[in-house]
């Protein structure tokens, strides 16, 4: 199935920011475009706004004046649905209200030809429900663009329950012809990105609610240690706390209040107090004139230990052993089956976050997972007051400082910050693959392009090893037995897949 020919008309209904962006994408791909809006005069205003953006593209050298003029000539406001009769594709970007969308498509179905694809840009509603009242739901798909549509490459192509495969393939081919990167997914709540991204926010908010550390420091750890472009507190202030919480609640409601998607009470209080982020002048942080962003908590300088004893290979943190040697610190290796810790001169232990709490042990300091320990600018440590010796914490701090890292010491938080976030992202990603929401490749592509993750969550799990998330979540579930950290069926299947055929018969 090929893409819709660029000579065919694309109609966009709803001319807000997203509708204008989608129209601009189709227009610059060469299609005639018609704009329709329920409010009189809005389509004409949108056409002017799109024309102004094309002018800016010319000023920046990204479009020739001739191409701009040709695009302007192909753009036409419509006064009613009847003017969309020749459209080969109609994309809707109206209010996120199911009755409004259903009524719109019922009207459009009376007007357009039988070969016209109908698409909704919804991010939160069931595509199946939007198409439910149509006489021909087979030609209906979700085309979920990300804002701003002209700039962001990802498009989620969502197949509703009754969508014909030919329609989904044609929609994906059309998005690709427009220069976008389409990913295919089934119609489950949140699709790919809005479903799998929930732990990025939820785990950070939970650490804050557990009084593990302040928001600015959590953001810094996820950026500088985890490799994420922005931290969840600064990002939700940019998105809008009301918008981000509404998506979380929609996914939570759609999954019948599964604890894996439970919203944050702290975020609810922000929304109730109208501290919505940048747009209101205050969210997690203040945006008042002259306000300074709180600095992350940095541990004071400490002296590096003269040596460490490595018991085991440190698993995903194995590259630290070479870095420690390069820093001039002696590493004494001891053969320990299954050992994954460093013993400090104080006798205390430095252990990679594994979902357990430091208070469960004597003189143990946990350190967080990093995307890449060599390039990480910060490492977080976790210690339980009263359960760790001052010398042990000082030596652990000095060790990482000797490797050129800023060190943040947080409270006794099981799984810490980066580790539990990455484990939960992987769990939801593998669950989506197991449920055939999308392929592993499309999941990784969606999360890299849709929310700028440094690695796709499935790719990240492969890098960490098939036992890593299993063991961390198993420990977290034992520590916090709410069901939130219970391993998904997808993670269970994936973790065992590497050993398929090597185990004995079940009996």
Catalytic residues: 123, 144, 156, 194
Question: Is residue 148 reached through a cis peptide bond, with omega within 30 degrees of 0 on the bond before it?
Answer: yes
Cβ atoms of 493 and 371 closer than 8 Å: no
Compute the distance between CA of residue 194 and CA of residue 236 in angstroms, rounded to an integer. 13
The residues facing 182 across adjacent strands are 155
In what order do the strands lie in the sheet containing 140-145? 75-77, 33-36, 9-13, 87-92, 117-120, 140-145, 154-159, 181-186
Q: Given phi > 0 = left and psi -120 to 50 = alpha, else beta, which region is 312?
A: left
Sign of CA dihedral 380, 384, 386, 392: negative
* Alpha-carbon distance values, 432 to 154, 186, 198, 356, 435 (Å): 18, 10, 13, 26, 5
Compute the distance between CA of residue 402 and CA of residue 323 in angstroms, rounded to an integer. 10
Strand 330-334 and strand 307-312: pairing?
A: parallel
Compute the distance between CA of residue 413 and CA of residue 487 in angstroms, rounded to an integer. 19
Phi then psi dihedrals of residue 300, to 5 deg: -70, 160
Beta strands in 214-294 (DSSP E): none
């Amino acid at each position: 199935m090929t893409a819709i020919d660029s000579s065919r008309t694309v109609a966009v209904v709803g001319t807000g920011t997203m509708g204008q962006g989608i129209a601009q994408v189709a227009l610059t791909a060469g299609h005639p475009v018609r704009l329709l809006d329920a409010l009189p005069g809005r389509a004409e205003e949108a056409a002017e706004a799109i024309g102004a953006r094309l002018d800016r593209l010319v000023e920046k050298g990204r479009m020739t004046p001739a191409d701009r003029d040709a695009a302007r000539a192909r753009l036409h406001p419509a006064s009613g649905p009847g003017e969309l009769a020749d459209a080969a594709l109609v994309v809707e970007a109206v209010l996120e209200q199911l009755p409004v969308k259903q009524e719109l498509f019922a009207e459009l179905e009376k007007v357009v030809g039988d070969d016209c694809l109908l698409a909704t840009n919804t991010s939160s509603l069931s595509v199946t429900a939007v198409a439910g009242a149509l006489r021909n739901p087979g030609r209906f798909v979700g085309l979920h663009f990300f804002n701003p549509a002209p700039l962001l490459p990802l498009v989620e192509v969502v197949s509703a329950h009754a969508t014909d495969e030919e329609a989904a393939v044609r929609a994906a081919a059309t998005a690709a012809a427009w220069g976008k990167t389409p990913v295919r997914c089934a119609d489950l709540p949140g699709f790919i990105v809005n479903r799998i991204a929930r732990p990025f926010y939820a785990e950070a908010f939970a650490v804050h609610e557990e009084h593990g550390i302040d928001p600015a420091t959590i953001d810094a750890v996820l950026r500088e240690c985890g490799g994420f472009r922005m931290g969840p507190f600064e990002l939700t202030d940019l998105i809008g706390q009301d918008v981000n919480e509404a998506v979380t609640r929609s996914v939570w409601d759609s999954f019948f209040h599964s604890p894996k998607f439970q919203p944050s009470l702290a975020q609810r209080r922000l929304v109730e107090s109208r501290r919505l982020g940048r747009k209101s002048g205050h969210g997690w942080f203040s945006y008042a004139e002259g306000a300074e962003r709180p600095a992350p908590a940095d541990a004071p300088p400490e002296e590096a230990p003269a040596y460490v004893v490595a018991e085991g290979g440190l698993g995903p943190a194995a590259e630290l052993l070479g870095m420690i040697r390069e820093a001039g610190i002696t590493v004494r290796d001891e053969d320990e089956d299954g050992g994954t810790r460093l013993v400090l001169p104080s006798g205390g232990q430095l252990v990679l976050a594994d979902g357990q709490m430091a208070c469960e042990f004597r003189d143990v300091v946990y350190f967080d997972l990093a995307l890449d320990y060599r390039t990480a600018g910060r490492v977080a440590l976790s210690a339980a007051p009263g359960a760790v010796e001052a010398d042990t914490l000082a030596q652990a701090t000095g060790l990482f400082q000797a490797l050129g890292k800023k060190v943040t010491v947080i409270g006794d938080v099981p799984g810490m910050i980066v580790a539990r976030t990455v484990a939960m992202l992987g769990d939801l990603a593998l669950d989506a693959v197991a449920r055939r929401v999308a392929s592993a490749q499309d999941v990784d592509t969606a999360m890299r392009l849709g929310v700028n993750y440094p690695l796709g969550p499935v790719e990240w799990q492969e890098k960490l090893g098939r036992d890593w998330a299993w063991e961390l979540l198993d420990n977290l579930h034992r520590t916090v037995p709410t069901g939130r950290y219970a391993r998904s069926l997808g993670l269970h299947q994936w973790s065992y897949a590497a050993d398929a055929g090597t185990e004995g018969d079940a009996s």
